Each structure stands twice: as structure tokens, then as C-alpha cells.
Structure 1
Amino acid sequence: MNVLGIDASHNTAALVKDGRLVASAEEERFDRCKHSRNPPVHAIRFCLEYAGLAAADVDYVAVGMDEVDHYSGLGLILSKVLLEGYPPGLLRKRFSVLRHHLFTDPARLRTHSPLSSAYWGKKVDAATDGTGLSAEIRVIPHHVAHGAWASLPTGWKNASCLVADGAGDWESTTAYAYHDQSIEFLRKETYANSLGFLYFNATDYLGFGFLQEGKTMGLAAYGDPQDVPGAVLDQIVRVPGELSPWYTVDSRILTDYYYGRGYLSHFTRLFGAPKRPPGLEATTPPYPVAAAAVQRSLEKALLHTVKKVVESTGEKKLCLGGGVAMNCSANGKIWASGLVDELAVQVAPMDSGTAAGAALRLAQQLGEKPLVEPDRSDWGPEFSDAEIEKALEAAGLRFERCPGSSIAGKAADLVAKGKIVGWFQGRMELGARALGHRSILANPGIKGMNDRVNRVKHRELWRPFAPSIAAERLGEYVQKPCPSPFMLIAFHANPNGKRELPTVIHVDGTTRVQTVDKRLEPLYYRLLREVEGHTSHPAVLNTSFNDAGEPIVCSPRDAIRSYFGMGLDALAIGNYLALNPEPGAKR
């Protein structure tokens, strides 16, 4: 049975064939539009082609959101306000859609919903060259899709599962008990008590813009939340909450982003400054303190919630999902707390993972056993040597062929010498992290290398970088090590880590590590060991292969364009190595 999964928010597609995940990718990688809002036409086409399927071979389409029901009538809106405590200001966006349709045929309303079967049927049909799609479209609740993706790839028998994001199907935080590949609902927090929207709105106040929460997390290390009185922190999040045994987010922070942004005045009152204007350095007071206060509030709420969930399930293995699980600093605090014995955060825990989660969950409901290779990140397209060589020749690049796996040694030698190398190998990663397939690599032991790479990528100089480290060697560099294959847990560096890897240690002494397993990533692992032969550390600075404001590269053409645009020193692409000439040399 073939199930096509679609993420209805971040526009990702996935393909599950006979219960096994075989492909998944985000549309932005193909249309080259960061955070693309276009339907996943190219992503769907890729998934079908990779699986060797035509549109007629798809048995079901799984959509990871039940948002259609949110627009089905005024009665539902009023019930949300009156019975579930939703502040009316949070529902204005819903009303703006409803006002055009309240007195029209409900069938028309569903046709106009971007998540209706008619809509998705047309888009899937377009993605498959109009060949037609007879598959039935099924909706999987958003947090169920998140929960499935968070838990099924772990291979665990029993676990606790916590999903936290902005909102999906009116839920913002949901707890599940995971047993034998099934998830049992335990408790939820609603749209009116959203940790995701707390962080989203704080990011806007800090002047970082849409979907830039990672910058807020990075800036938080420059502030000391001790500078913020407890009474101020209580006006962000209270734990334990008065309305919930988990937490209570101050409602003044959750006024709708799209209608007046009333939360900005609340942040201004709390921190004594208006929204950071363009051009003002983010590290200017009081913005780092504000970021630190919000980060601390998020961590306090999550730690309390994890404690409650683990107590409820009795399971100290924890799966985290949802956009909030992208906050590696908070994940690190959970791991360091001792509340859990094992922690799993999957690649793409945000909405991009719900395409796979929805498809796997639907396949399971239809009687198949879901199968996902644990700790894999590379679910996207790959390119042959012939395709790569053709692209290099078309660009007029001079290059050398590196047979076998010798490309790892060539790249390692350059990294050790202080060169900045584009690394393009195998299938593309899913999600926002580059994990050794579409990466920019540098030597983390050379002081000042972080500033060089930030300038190459046209990023703010205060932003941190992360290392990839041979998995079995992690304990030499951090406190309380654990597997972190997707660069989603921040650890406190030990003295050796601070000494040996200075450019990947943030100002608060933490480092967001990717652990590299020899069995799963043999070529990348070999590069790390080759680097160790030159430097004494099996580690590289690893950042995503993209310039500021662009998606991570997908194709050889994308990689070559970014290589030129950023002025990288070298490009290790497949079995080929291209070198930028030294200044003054002829290309």
C-alpha cells in the first residue's frame, strides 16, 4: 500500500510504501523560496519518482492537519470562546475567513479551505502532470501526526511523548503515552495557552521576523534572566498554572500576531523598550535580557510539564515533537534535569515532519506496521556522479575526481588547514539542520573561525555554530553526553571541549552537537576521523549549506551557485573537489 503524506503548514511531502518511509522533502528546497507557502508540487513529484510510482499507484493521501473543521461555522467559534476559554482576540483570524462564508453554502466553505480534499486533489494532480489521482484523502489530527513522527522512529516499546508547538487543530501542547507503536492521548493545552506562540511573539518583539525563533534562542545566552525580577517572569509564564496543572502563559502575550500585535505593548512594559527597530544591534540592552527571560520561562514550563507527563505514564523515556522541540537549549535542560533516562527528538520535529508522521499513522490505521530507520535524516533527493560532473562543467569550474571515499580525506585536509568547505554528499536531509549531506564545514579549533563563517554566510556575528562529533567521542567534550544525531540537544561543554573546540561553544558554555555514527554516516564519519589525524579532534564546525535568506541547497546547481555566491574555499560534491583560486590567480 502506498500512502502520500502532506504537511499542510510548511508544505512538505512524504511517501510511505508498504509501511516503510522511503522519501520526504520540503517544497522550499525545490522552488528556492525560504519558508515557501507554495503547495508541495515539486516535493510530491520527487517522492513519487523516488519510490518509482505514478499518481495512479497512490492508495491514500494523508494530510497532517484537521483545520477544515475550524472554519465550519459560527457555533464552533463561539463554543471555543465560551466553553474552552479562548480569548476573543485570538480568534479574529478565524472570523476574517468566516465573514465571507457564514451565510453561504457550507460546501463552498470547504471547497475554499486550503485543506479540503478538493484543493489537495487538484494540487496532487498538478504535481503528477495531470495524470489524475484516485486516492482517498484522509485527515490525521495535527498533534497525532507530530506524535507519530516523534515516537515511531525511536524503536522503543514504551515511552512518554510530548508535543508542543504554536497551534494545530486548536491544540498547542499534547501529552501521549506510547506503547507498542500506538499513542494514547493523555492531556492537552489549547491555543489559548501556547508556548509556541509565546516564543513566536517574543521573536517578533526582538525584531527577528517570521520563523526566526532560533535567533531568539541564540540571543538568550547573552542575557541574564537573573536581571529580571520574579514578578516580571510571572507575567510571562506561571508554573504551576492557576488554570492548569502544567503552566499558564500570560494572555497579554498571546494576542494575535495578525491583528494589532497587542503583545508588543506588554513586552514593552516588561522590559522598558519598544520592539527592536531595524538596524539596532540585537545585543543592545535590554533585548538580550528579554530573550533570556522568555527562554527561561519556556524552560520552566517545559520542565514542569515533562515532570507531570512522566509521572502520569511512569515511562522515563521521552519523545519530543512539535516546533517547540526545535529549541535545543530547552531540550538540553530537560536532559540535564534527570527527569528522563533517554531523550529522543527526531529530525524535523516541526511541521515539516508531520507529512511523514501523518502517512505513517494512516498506514498503521490501515493495518500496516510502520517502519522508519532510526536516526536517519537523509530522506531527500540524491544525484549521480554524471549529473554532478555535468553541472560542474556547465559552470566552468576546474575540479578533480576523487575515487572511492578519498573525497573525505581531501576535504578533511582543507578543513584542518583553515579552509571553509562546501560539503554536498548523498541524499538531502529533511528539516532545518544540515547533518553532513548539505553542509558547510570548518575547523572548530581555530579561534575566530566562527566570525569568518558568519561573514561568509552574511549572518549576524553574535550567532553561534554547532559541531559534528564522532558519536563515541562526545564524552571527551561535553558533560552528561547522550546520542544527538539531529543536532537538537545543547550540552554544557567540559573544560576540554572549551579548549579544543572554541568556535562551537556559545557564550553560555553550551554547544549544540550532532553525534555522527559510523554505521549510519560512514563517509561523514571518515571525514571526522581524517580531521582528527590533522588536529587531534574528530569534530568539525557544521552549518547549513545556504546563504542568508535562502533554503539549504538541494541540487548540484544550487550548491555551485552558493559556492560562488558565498566565496567558499572549496566544494566537495560527490566524488569531485573544486577549489576556489587564491586571490589574484586566474580561474
Structure 2
Amino acid sequence: MRRGRDDNWELSMITNQAFLGIGGSGHDFSAALVSKGNLQIAIEEERIDRSKHGSRIWHSHPCNLALNYCLSATNIRLEDVASIYIPQDHVRRESQILGRQVIRIGHHLAHAAASFYPSPFQEAAVLVIDGHGGHIETSSKDTNNLETISIGSASGSSIALNTLQSGIKTVTSTTWHHVVSNSLGSFYKAVSDLIGFGFFGVGKLMGLAAYGDNSLLSEMRKWVDIDVAGKFYFDPYSGFSDWVQHTLRCSRNSAQIRANIAAAVQKIFEETVLRLAKHCQQVTGAKYLSYGGGCALNTVANRRILDETKFKSLYIFPAPGDAGLAVGAAYFGYYIETGAYRFPSELQTLGTQAYCGRKYGEDEMKQALDKYPVLYHRATDTVNTVTKRLLEGEIIGIFRERSEIGPRALGNRSIITLPDSSIRRRFINMRVKNRETFRPFAPVVIFEAMSKFFELEDESPFMLLVAKVRPEWRASLGAITHADETARVQTVRRESNPFLYDLLVTVENHTGIPVLLNTSFNRRNEPIVESPEDALSCFLNQELDTLLLGKYIVEKHTPWACPSEQIVP
């Protein structure tokens, strides 16, 4: 039956409406707005309140800063939002936000939505793996039964998702109250905590694993079980914690034993993800995979999915963890309520999806500059100016355009430098980032040259794949080559980030290598910078040589020392 003119007008009005998603689950709160089938804006609460991961009691602070940020940047009033969607989990119990009724959807469903709706696929298999999601409805009255692994399929604007595995959260001590049984994510987090990195230190654990061997793998396997479909069985209260702590004590907490523990848990993690991905492909018969949940940040496992399964391509949203729940919830609400046709994303502009924050005007940057003790001038050619300084060996902070969502800086809130020297890597770890020296740095490379320098055939616009650095280039790329001769690669097309692409090409004209070291613009234990004020404060308190703030080249007074608390966040 054909739609009449009035029906088309009504459909147009509905699809133009904005849908608000609120994300997070006791940590990593966020907000996002979707309209016309596109993500208009998204922000993590931590970027605004400057509290890493933003852990707090939900009831005391319902994501107001992120919510208001999104509404203000888009000039939309809360009363004009069509609907508000939030993922269901163990924290949220409210039915309203700021007087508006909310609609709750499954935690894993929100992850699935974030991994499929922005993807370039018309249809795909869907896999979600994390620490835990929302409650599983069962015949028993056990309210602590939580989803840990889900699989399904998606086509057009529809997603069908089923829980493959669940686990029990048992609160028995302050040490283990975050750990859920039968959870791959909780298993990984638990080991991270036990070897001294904390529950949010899983990225450090993955980096340390490259320095370890398999000497503890057989012992580690005794504490878990993985079936042929990838179902993961783990009892955190079976003595596992005691075994890890005993192993550390016997070695006097040696760095090598910690690395060997990391290597063992990483190996088990990869094996589990690989079995799950293969099972997902067998069940669905799909050619493509949309993968979400915090476990999708493990770039080594991600690469193995591409190399060792029948999937032709893999899509992971740049914020696959709980910060991305807001995006998934908003997308889900939009497509469910409007019934709009979904157009898969174009590969050429896929990289733009990460840049979700608001733009700051030049007047805002100028006002911020005048508050801080810096020297600055407006550059007429930022690409050549920055290139010249990079060639002189400078380490440069970059603040421009819209901020990225997710834990990776992708060129708009970055620290960049030449990738040539392992000495440079050590200096940045120790003096700029103030972090452990074993941690690797990522390269950014132009899309056309990725296969020349790295063993990589698939795009990696969000820095979510590792690749071997080709042997002939390892000496020239010492700052970004990890202990296992790999790198966590970001590829960039000009359509996604013209400035970054042109900068890489200009650097290539001088060095023959269109690669730069790219790390997040933040201080230790702080979120990535969001505002001009954040960028200037971070710049003045780090050993950076130059800051590019929009079109302004910013330098420090020499000599300079922090004169007041004004510039200390």
C-alpha cells in the first residue's frame, strides 16, 4: 500500500525527531543524541567532570552534565526529545530523568545496537562480551544472574539477540565485589586487579602480556573451562585469587612473573573470543561481524577474529564499552520508534564516527588562551607549521575540531611525535605520560600506505586492531613497535580527518614515512582533554613542546613554572 502525502510528511516529522540515549553502568556514564538516522553528538561524563571513568552512585548524579552538553550543543530542549532510552543494569532503578519518562532496554542489546547500527553492514552476526550486563529473567528469584555473553544477528534496522551465557554476582568481600562468575571480562579484570593494575587497568595487562611466556598457561587453564561454543566457565571464589597471590609471593612479585601471568590470561582470553566468534559465524552463517562490549577493546583478540574465522570483515564501535551504551540506546530508540530505513555507513567516512563531541569556536579558544601564561600566535598553515616542529623532534599536543568518544585519541585530542626511536617512546612514557615504561604507543598511518609498513589488509580507523610491523621498517618505527613486534594501528583516510591525513602526507614528503606516534592527550589518571581549558592546563603540566589549539600555535614561557593553582586541574 502506498503512502499518501500526509503519511510521508508524518514519517518525515518522526524521523527528524531526536532520541536521547543515556549510558554507563555505575561507571563510564555518557549521553548521545540520534536523529535522521545519524549520531548527532555524544559525550562521556568523565570528559566534563574530569573524573576518570566517573564512578559514582547513579541515583546521586544521573548523568546531568553529559545530558545537558548534548542538548546545549544541538540547541534541543529536553521536552522536545522524542524519547529517552537507557540500558537496564544492576544500578539503575529510576523510571524518570529530570521529569521525563525513560524506556529501558537490555544492557547487551544496547551494546549490540552500538556495534551494528553505525556499521557498514546491511546484515551481520552480532557478538557481545563484557564483564556483565543486565539481569536475566529466570524462574528463580535470583536477581544477581547477569548476562555475560550474547550472540545474535542483525539485518536492516532489526536486531535479534540471545543470551548465550550468564553469571552470578556474589558480594562477599570488598576485593571481589565486581567479579561475576562465568564472565570473560570479569576474569580479565580480576587478574588485572590482582597483579596491581586495578579493575580499570586491563589495557596495561594486555600490554604487559607481550613480555611474558607460556610457563603459567597450563596452571591458569585449571581455573577455567571453555566449551566448543566458547562458553566460559569461571568461579572467582574457587581459590583463584589465592593461587595468583601465592604465585606472586613466591616470586617476590617479580616483573617477569607478573608478565607471565598476563600472558597466560591473555592467551585464554584470545582462545575464548575466537571460539565464540567461530560459533557465532556457524550459527548465523553471516559474512560480517558486529562486535561490542568492553572485551572488544582487546585488539590482539580482535585481529585473531579476522585472521582465523570465516568473517570477511569486523566492525567495532570506537566506544565498545559501557560509555558506548548511550549511543546504542539512542540508535535503538530511533529505529524502533520511527521504523526508518537504515543505510549502512560508507567505508570512506567510517572514521568520522569517532568524532562525536561538540566543536569549540575560535572565540572560546582565544578566551581560554588569554587566561593562561602562554605565548601564542595564529598560524596561516597549520599543517606545515606542525610538520616543521615535528621534524625538529618536538612532542606536540593537538586540540582541534570535535572530540573522540571512547578510550582512544584519534587525532583531535592527541599527543603526536615522530615514530622513529625507542628512546623517544621511553621518554614519553616517563616524562610526558608518567606511566609504566612497558606500555606501547600506537601509530597513525594513511590508509593507502598501511600495508607497506604493517601486516594489515583491513582498515583500523578506531585503533582497534594490532598488526605486525614489517621487519624492514621496525628500526625506523622503534617508538611504536611493541615487544612482540606489533603495533595497535590507526588508519586514516582524508575524508575522515583532512588535517591529520595532510599532516601525515607532508611528513612523508620529508621522511619517506607517513606514520606518526599518536597517544591520548591527557595526564596520568585523568580523562582525555575535552575543552580548550583542559588542553591548556594539560599542556602546561606536561613536558610538551607545542600545543596546536585550533589554528593557534601555543608555546610555554621559558623558563616557566606553575605559578598558581589556577592551571592545575
Cα distance in 1 for residues equivalent to 2:222 and 2:233? 8
What does 1:46-61 align with in structure 2 at a 5 Å threshold?
A: 46-61=69-84
Given candidates 520, 531, 541, the residue that maps to 2:507 is 531
Decide whether aligned partners of structure 1 residues 178 and 348 sit closer, same or farther in structure 2, where only a CA change above 3 A counts: same
**Does 2:64 align with 1:41?**
yes
**Structure 1 residues 523 and 368: alpha-carbon distance in aligned structure 2, compared to 1, 3 A threshold:** farther
**Structure 1 residue 197 and structure 2 residue 186: aligned?**
yes
Equivalent residue, structure 1, for 2:31: 13
- Secondary structure of 1:473's aligned partner: helix
Supply the distance in 2 between the matched residues of 1:115 and 1:15 (Cα, whole angstroms): 22
1:397 aligned onto 2:381:
no
Measure the CA separation in 2 of the matches of 1:382 and 1:236. 49
Q: Which amino acid aligns with 2:329?
A: A
Report the alpha carbon displacement of residue 340 of structure 1 after superposing the two structures with TM.
2.1
Structural mapping, 1:421-500, within 5 Å? 421-455=396-430, 456-500=432-476
Q: Match for residue 409 of structure 1? A: 384
Is it true that 1:212 corresponds to 2:201 in the alignment? yes
| Counterpart residue number, 2:118 | 153
Q: Output the CA distance in 2 between the equivalents of 1:471 and 1:314.
A: 30
| Unpaired stretches in structure 2, ≥5 consecutive residues | 1-16, 56-60, 135-145, 168-180, 564-569
Provide Cα deviations, 1:444-465, integer angstroms capped at 9, x if missing partner: 0134111111121111111110
Task: Report what 1:510 is aligned to.
Answer: 486
Q: Are 1:237 and 2:237 counterparts?
A: no
> Paired residue for 1:228, among 216, 239, 259?
216
2:178 match: none
Alignment of 1:15-164 (within 5 A): 15-37=33-55, 38-67=61-90, 114-118=92-96, 121=97, 125=98, 133=99, 135-164=100-129
Provide the residue aligned with 2:555 in structure 1.
579
CA separation of 1:63 and 1:275: change in aligned 2, threshold 3 A: farther
- The question of whether the paired residues in 1 share the 8 Å contact of 2:29 and 2:63 is answered with yes
Q: CA deviation at 1:440?
A: 0.4
Verify the 8 A CA contact 1:27 1:39 in the aligned structure 2. no
User: Which residue does the alignment assign to 2:137?
Assistant: none
Q: Secondary structure at the match of 1:174?
A: strand
Maintained 8 Å contact 1:235/1:250: no
Note closer, same or farther for the CA distance 1:248–1:20 as it changes in structure 2 (3 Å cut). Answer: closer
Partner of 2:521: 545
Deviation at 1:424, TM superposition (A): 0.4
| In the alignment, structure 1 residue 249 sits paired with structure 2 residue 233 | yes
SS of equivalent to 1:173: strand
Q: Is the 2:278–2:309 Cα contact (8 Å) retained in structure 1? A: no
Distance 1:442 1:217 in 2: 23
Quote the offset at 1:56 in angstroms. 1.4
Q: CA deviation at 1:26?
A: 0.6
Deviations 1:169-218 (A, max 9, x none): 11111111121232222451112311000001010111001311100000
Shift of 1:262: 5.6
> Hey, what's the Cα distance between the residues in 2 that align with 1:324 and 1:275?
30
Q: 2:192, 2:205 within 8 Å by CA — same for their partners in 1?
A: yes
Alpha-carbon deviations, 1:94-125, whole Å to 9, x = none? Answer: xxxxxxxxxxxxxxxxxxx643114xx2xxx3
Q: Distance in 1 between matches of 2:231 and 2:220?
A: 13
The offset of 1:442, in angstroms, is 0.9
Contact 1:66–1:139 under 8 Å retained in 2: no
- SS for the counterpart of 1:562 is helix
**1:384 is matched with which residue: 361, 381, 391?**
361
**Would you say the 8 A contact 2:217–2:264 is kept in 1?**
no
| Structure 1: distance between partners of 2:87 and 2:249 | 37
Q: Distance in 2 between matches of 1:471 and 1:552?
A: 25
Change over 3 Å in CA distance of 1:267–1:580 after alignment to 2: same
Q: Secondary structure at the match of 1:568?
A: coil
Query: What is the CA distance between 1:264 and its match in structure 2?
Result: 1.7
**Aligned 8 A contact 1:16 1:22 in 2:** yes
Letter of the 2:280 partner, please give it: V
Unmatched runs of 5 consecutive residues or more in structure 1: 68-112, 126-132, 256-260
Please report how far the alpha carbon of residue 237 of structure 1 lies from its aligned counterpart in structure 2 after TM superposition. Answer: 3.3
Is the CA contact 2:32–2:326 (under 8 Å) kept in the aligned structure 1? yes
SS in 2 for 1:176: strand
2:292 corresponds to: 321
Q: Match for 1:167 among 132, 144, 169?
A: 132
How far has the Cα of 1:263 moved from its partner? Answer: 3.7
2:320 corresponds to: 349
Distance 1:368 1:386 in 2: 41
Secondary structure, aligned partner of 2:474? helix
Does the CA-based 8 Å contact 2:277-2:309 persist in structure 1? no
Q: Are 1:501 and 2:477 matched, yes or no?
A: yes
Whole-angstrom CA distance in 1 between matches of 2:79 and 2:417: 46
Distance across 2 between alignment mates of 1:393 and 1:318: 49
Deviation string 1:122-151 (CA, Å, 9 cap, x unpaired) is xxx3xxxxxxx4x43100101111001101
Of 160, 163, 181 in structure 1, the residue corresponding to residue 157 of structure 2 is 181
Number of equivalenced pairs: 508
Residue of 329, 349, 355 corresponding to 1:358: 329
Q: Normalising by structure 2, report the TM-score.
A: 0.85
Query: Structure 1 residues 584, 206: closer, same or farther in 2, change over 3 A?
Result: closer
**Which letter does structure 2 place at the counterpart of 1:476?**
K
Alignment RMSD (CA, Å): 2.2
- State the secondary structure of the residue aligned to 2:52: coil
Moved segments of 4+, more than 4 Å: 274-277, 370-373, 581-585
Are residue 309 (structure 1) and residue 280 (structure 2) matched?
yes
**CA–CA distance in 1 between the matches of 2:249 and 2:244?**
8
Aligned AA for 2:41?
A: A
Distance 1:157 1:497 in 2: 37
**Shift of residue 17, structure 1, vs aligned partner:** 2.3
Given that 2:323 and 2:406 are in contact with CA atoms closer than 8 Å, whether structure 1 keeps it comes out as yes
The SS at the match of 2:495 is: coil
Q: Which amino acid in 2 is paired with 1:329? A: V
CA contact (8 A) 1:64 1:139 kept: yes
Which residue does 1:264 correspond to in 2? 241
SS in 1 for 2:436: coil
Partner residue, 1:520: 496
Q: Give 1:479's aligned amino acid.
A: E
> Which has the higher mean CA deviation after the structures are superposed, 298-307 or 572-581?
572-581
TM-aligned CA distance change 1:338 to 1:415, over 3 Å = farther
Measured against aligned partners, the alpha-carbon deviations of 1:475-526 in whole angstroms (never above 9, x if no partner) come to 0111132110000111112113313211101101110001011111111111
Change (3 A) 1:8 1:346: closer
TM-score of the aligned structures, taking structure 1 as reference length: 0.83
C-alpha distance in 1, partners of 2:550/2:211?
39
Tell me, in whole angstroms, the C-alpha distance in 1 between the residues paired with 2:239 and 2:538: 39
Report the AA paired with residue 230 of structure 2: W
